[in-house]
Structures are given as C-alpha cells and as structure tokens.
A and B are shown apart, each in its own frame.
Chain A
Amino acid sequence: MNQFEAKVSIRLRPSVLDPAGEAIKSAATKLGVQGINSLRIGKLIEVNLEAKEEKEAKEKIELLCDRLFANKVIEDFDYDLKEVNE
C-alpha cells in the first residue's frame, strides 16, 4: 500500500450568499486594507490515506467529497492529491 495526502477545499457555490465571508470582509476593511472586492470562507480538509495506486486514492477522495465532505446543492469542492514518500 502507498501513502497519499489530499488537501480538499470545500467552497460555497458562487450563487450562495456567504454571510460569514461578508462579516470578515467588513472587518478586513476596518483593518484598513482597501480594495477587497470579495471574500468568501471555505473549509480545508486534510486527509492521509492508503491506496494501491493514485487512481484508487483519487476514487476514495472523490467518494468522500461527493458523499460526505460537500453538499453539492450549496458547495463545490476540489482537491490536490499527492503520494507521500516516507
């Protein structure tokens, strides 16, 4: 078995209002940082997993994203996957 590391990003879909992002955007402006056009909050999920090969690792991550990590009604996901050499 090989070791893989995935970094999964979950984001609210662009059409879904992100009130928490709006609140942080407001605070960022109050900090004095100008020119912020948009600010949206997502989730980062880091997974270490075992798989025979990259294809299998990808299938596992896709399943996790599709069925558990993201709700595709309101969220999109993408991920980076790499093999970890010990």
Chain B
Amino acid sequence: MSNFTVGIVVFPGSNCDRDMFWALEGCLGIKTKFIWHESSDISGVDSIVLPGGFSYGDYLRCGAVARFSPLLNSLDDFVKTGRRVIGICNGFQILTESGFLPGALTTNKNLDFICKDCELEIISSKGSWFNSSNNKINLPIAHGEGRYFCDEDTFKELSDNDLIALRYLNNPNGSSYDIAGVINKGGNVLGLMPHPERACDNNIGGNDGIFTLKSLIEFS
C-alpha cells in the first residue's frame, strides 16, 4: 500500500492538479506523481487522475484536444488492466470526449459559471467509488460547461447497467436526468463534475470527497 502511486495528469491549462496533490498527499498521505501530458509512459502508477482545468485552452470543445495527447493513447491499455481512473470536471469532459464514458458535457443551461456546494445522491455502488452507507454527499462544483447530455437510449443503457454514479438533488446546470457523474461498465473509470479533492478537509469544504479519493488505492 505504501508504494501505491496515484498519477496526476498535467495538461497545459490544468488547474486542479495541485489541489489534487494537496488532497492526496497532504490530507490522505497517498503518494502521487505528476505526469506531463506528452508522456505515454504510465507504467509506474497504479491509478490515474485526470484533474479539472481547461486543457489546451478548451478552445474547440472542453476536453476535445486533450484526447489526442500521448497519455490518452496509453490510457486505453491502462483501463483494460482494471486499474482505476477518475476524471474530475475537465477530466470528466476528456473521458467523454475520448469515449471512455458515454454522453457529453456542454454549456450550463443558464450560461453561468457555477461555483457552489451541491447535494448529490449516490446512485450506483459499482466500483465502490462512494461510501454506500451514505445516500447523499455534498461536493463543490465549479464549471461553466458541466451540463451532462445524453439521449434517451444512452440513459436507458446507463440505468440498465447501473452506471449512473451521482445525481444532483437540485440540478444546477440542466444536466440530462440530473446526472452528475457516470461509471464505465468495468467499474474502474469514474467521471464526475463535482470536485472531491476540494472536500477533503473539514476546515475547508467538508470531507465528503475523502472516500472517493481513498478508493483510488483501496479498491484497486
């Protein structure tokens, strides 16, 4: 366990990579390693975080350019080995753009950049990403383009396979079916708009994010 290393991917424009470092190393004592987006060598890490931010400026669409980075090319094999990957905010956008998770993320319904705490309902226990003894958790969101979109067929597939991770109790951004996060069929890839790394200390933002970050090492 002590040698377990979580890789934090750094794209040009990532801005939650340091938050993640602080949460994992500072709050939870989990060893981390920053991985530059041009590296395709991810053999030395046991799980991977795609952090929030604005990768490559997000000029075309959020996450659209990041999917072509050398690192993302290596991610497919990494996921197939069953190792865990979490994409938060921009990381979630990258995971949908690159096809690891279904759906897409686009501009918030009200056009606002929303930065606030959100009450979330835990829907799926697949992958054990959330503490199943809680039905609800509070995590902060901070995004302008976090409206999850999926059509009816995709929603049915998500529901039938128990792939909806989290739902907003008060949908802040117009997401389809109140979805805030989804999981892949293997259970080892999670994408979510809320920021668990900003909820790892009771003094700042609560601690509802701890379980999810710890699960990067405990359930691998």
Contacts and interface: CB of A to CB of B under 8 A. Distances in A.
Interface of A: 12, 15-17, 19-20, 23, 68-69, 71, 73-74
Contacts of B150: 73
B109 A17 contact: yes
Contact of A19 (B60, B104, B110): B110
Given A69-B60, A71-B97, A15 B108 contact: no
A68 B60 contact: yes
B151 A15 contact: yes
A23 B60 contact: no
B106 A74 contact: yes
**Which 7 A/B pairs are nearest by Cβ-Cβ distance?**
A73-B104, A74-B104, A19-B111, A71-B104, A74-B149, A19-B109, A74-B106
- Residue of A15, A23, A71 most packed against chain B (CB within 10 A): A71
B64 interface: yes
22 contacts: A12-B106, A15-B151, A16-B149, A17-B109, A17-B174, A19-B107, A19-B108, A19-B110, A19-B111, A20-B111, A68-B64, A68-B68, A69-B60, A71-B97, A73-B96, A73-B102, A73-B103, A73-B104, A73-B149, A73-B150, A74-B104, A74-B106
B64 to A, nearest CB: 7
A4 B208 CA distance: 55
Contacts of B107: 19-20
Contacts of A12: 106
